[in-house]
Structure 1
Amino acid sequence: MLYLVLAGAGLIPGVATTWLVRRRHSWTTALLAGAAVVVALPVATVAALAALLLYFPLLGVALGLAAAAAALHDYDAGRIWVATSWAATAAVLLSLASWRVL
């Protein structure tokens, strides 16, 4: 059920864009605009998060330490793949925070 909600949240802006552009342009242009919106949303979200972490390094450090703690907990529980993704997330967060501190 959560996957359906996430898929809807990602696709609804693209469908709305397609519907609005279709009123004035062709279906091809409308579908391309809708696809561009669907693709651009995750990219814009990641860029905004990276900018937030660069401008507020303490937030990046706090989130990085929380991700490292989650990685240690998952390594102890035996969930290697999940723990490795948490460790990678911690590394990215701490590196983004350290760029601004230096």
Structure 2
Amino acid sequence: MNMPAQTNSNQECLTQAKLDEGMGAMNLHESCNVTKADIKTDRVDYAASCSIEGMTTLFEGYATFHGNRLEGKMSSDMNTPLGPMKMNTEYQGERVGDC
């Protein structure tokens, strides 16, 4: 089943102290485990596995950094009661000012 594209916008304050936490800055659910974190100055490649309420989800993606902005893609493979589902996400972010 194909679903129509959806757009969401979010704004949050990321301080240097939070960024210094590395992967801890991602605020992952407690049942998630980071399985890949290849962090470079201009790109991060990552993967995680989560098991929430009996559903297993595998995430894999990347982000590229361009000064005050970033962009990336992520795919999610979910094992749901309705059967396997795949979700593809494209995202972008930009610095909008001080916290």
Q: TM-score normalised to the size of structure 2?
A: 0.23
Q: TM-score normalised to the size of structure 1?
A: 0.23
By percentage of residues, which structure has more helix?
1
